[in-house]
Amino acid sequence: MRRTWPAALLVLGLLPSGLWAIPGYNQATEILKQEWGKRYPASLKSIRPNPEGLGIYRTRESAGLTYYYHFRVTVPRLVRAEDGSLKEEELRTIEVWMRYRPAAESYDLAFVRRDLLPSGGSWIR
């Protein structure tokens, strides 16, 4: 019994840090801005994190645990002008899922509906 106490205390001490290891929506929004700027020419006009209020979708994939953050973003529609330049027209709102894989420390963006996410996951807040 005496030997199990140190192990139990260690597990209890590490458990909260494991829960806080994934970014929350504030940090995920900043990461989204950075990743978007690297990949797409259209600037983000507005970002609405967690629009359905469900939280973060956690699932297990072949690469390990994966977390999905849901956003609705407003961007200008880019149209190519006759001279070849891009010009901004009306705004449009699109759904974006940011996928975070802690084992690989990688983030990527997906434009899919919620029903096309991997099944078997759970929502965490």
Closest residue by Cα to residue 107 from 119, 98, 94: 98
Mean pLDDT of 4-8: 55
Residue 44 identity (one-letter amino acid): L
**Stated pTM of the model:** 0.77
CA dihedral 31, 37, 39, 43 (to 10 degrees): 120
- The pLDDT mean for the chain works out to 84
Element housing 38 (H / E): helix 25-39
Top-confidence range, 22-26, 69-73, 81-85: 69-73
pLDDT of 59 strictly over 50: yes
User: What sign for the dihedral angle of Cα 101, 102, 103, 105?
Assistant: positive
pLDDT of 9 strictly over 80: no
Cα distance between residue 21 and residue 26, in whole Å: 14
The pLDDT tens digits for 31-50 are 999 999 999 888 999 999 99
Per-residue confidence (pLDDT) for residue 50, from 0 to 100: 95
